Amino acid sequence: MPAQTVATAFQRHFGYTAPLLVRAPGRVNLIGEHTDYNLGYVLPAAIDKEIYFAVGLNSGSEIRLVSHDLNDCCTIAVDQLHRTDTQWANYLLGVAAQLQKRGVVLAGFDCVFGGNVPVGAGMSSSAAVECGLAFALDQLLGTRLDKMTLAHVAQKAEHEYAGVMCGLMDQFASLFGRPSQVVRLDCRSLDYEYFPFDTDACRIVLCNSGVKHSLASSEYNKRREECERGVHLLQQHHPEVKSLRDATLAQLEQHRAEFDEVTYRRCRYVVEENQRVLDACAALQRHDLAGFGQLMHASHAGLRDDYEVSCLELDVLEEAARGLPGVYGARMMGGGFGGCTINLVAPEQVEPFIREVGRAYQQRFGRELETYQTSIVNGVSETRAEALPSVNHPAPLPDNC
């Protein structure tokens, strides 16, 4: 059990017990991709792929981090926080730095973390890492920041320490998830609304393209800039347009001649995708899974052709899923350039679905397809492990510490 594992490792490494134990989930996004940083709508949910943390204040002035899964560690003085060459540690150090920036007086702390959110698969392992630590430090330091502030702290950590200018969706989903519900966030007003999603009636199956989205960060930031260029162009005529959320297709058409082709297509995708989220929520409310699924396929087409963040493997997976018995909808999920497709499948068809899509994938790429069936769970929370026997002699930290 992962909470137990990190608790045991914490005691082994640091020699004291009773750390705070925290569970932080990854997320899926049903629809609304690349809309968050355009201040539009998203529809994510927290899932049962999670990162577990054991965190304790160490009464010194150092931050000592251990990645249980990588068997690696990183130590840094609280008053000398900076980005390091250790990628995984930057997500955590970024959170500590953001808290400091907000005036929180940090103390030395120890942290062991590990879990089962696949890295680079589009399930936001990075947001889970950031949000879990933000939550833990908030508890331990008694800062009592509200969850939306913690989401912003985590998002800023990603901007400044990981260099990805992400929107708020992933951090929001990890913190605000609720069991069996998806949540629509309005990224402009930050209002949100939960919608029931019955995974007994409709399963969420993720198919891993096997492509890690390593190119994603630079391409991701480029998409953001292209959207900003579009807003700038529209603003010349419509000063009320502050983000693509405020733009309409009619406005885009009206000024098309002033747009270069790429910027135009990026903007068209975002404006259409925003509307799809609203339509998808309406479909959910009428229990129209088929209608919901059609919107997912349309979302994929837009991401592939207009926004150009898909890849061959994702396209093959989406196409293989389309039209199979019991498949309501499929599309690539997350930032793109790899990661997973998300598929909504009738429970009795899940097995044949996995078989069929797996066969198509194997035939095309000569590799076995990895799939995950996920359920929708609660957002970041404190968790427990069984009482641990006390140890007198802590284990040495891994070699490179």
The footprint of ligand GLA (CB under 6 A) covers 33-34, 36-37, 124, 166-167, 169-170, 334-335
Catalytic hit among 36, 110, 138, 170: 170
Residue type, 27: R
Q: Which is nearer to ligand GLA, 33 or 226 (CB)?
A: 33
Longest dimension (CA), the chain: 74
- How near is the Cβ of 42 to ligand GLA at its closest, in Å? 7
List, in sequence order, every residue forming a beta bridge with 370; answer none if it has no partner: 208
DSSP 37-83: GGT-EE-EEEEEEEEEEEEEE-SSSEEEEEETTTTEEEEEEGGG---
Q: Which is nearer to ligand GLA, 83 or 159 (CB)?
A: 159
- How near is the Cβ of 349 to ligand GLA at its closest, in Å? 27
Q: Which is nearer to ligand GLA, 55 or 340 (CB)?
A: 340
Backbone angles phi, psi at 326, to 5 degrees: 80, 0
Torsion of Cα atoms, 90 then 133 then 62 then 110, to 10°: -120
Q: Which is nearer to ligand GLA, 20 or 204 (CB)?
A: 204
Burial 109-122 (b: 16+ CB within 10 A, else e): bbbbbbbebbebbb
- How near is the Cβ of 41 to ligand GLA at its closest, in Å? 11
48 given a catalytic annotation: no
Using DSSP, state whether 370 is helix, strand or coil. strand
Instruction: Give all strands (DSSP E) within 119-247, no chain letters.
Output: 181-186, 192-196, 203-208
Sheet holding 381-382, edge to edge: 72-77, 62-67, 109-115, 44-57, 20-29, 381-382
Length, in residues, of the chain: 401
Q: Which is nearer to ligand GLA, 230 or 334 (CB)?
A: 334
Q: Which is nearer to ligand GLA, 161 or 353 (CB)?
A: 161
Burial status of residue 261 (CB atoms within 10 A of its CB: 0-12, 13-18, 19 or more) = exposed
- How near is the Cβ of 49 to ligand GLA at its closest, in Å? 14
Q: From residue 253, give the alpha-carbon distance in Å to each of 140, 241, 265, 367.
A: 53, 15, 11, 43
Using DSSP, state whether 282 is helix, strand or coil. helix
- How near is the Cβ of 166 to ligand GLA at its closest, in Å? 3
Nearest partner of 158 among 169, 147, 144, judged by Cα:
169
Nearest partner of 336 among 164, 204, 114, 192, judged by Cα:
164
Query: Tokens for 327?
Result: 């498949």
Q: Which is nearer to ligand GLA, 335 or 338 (CB)?
A: 335
Catalytic residues: 170
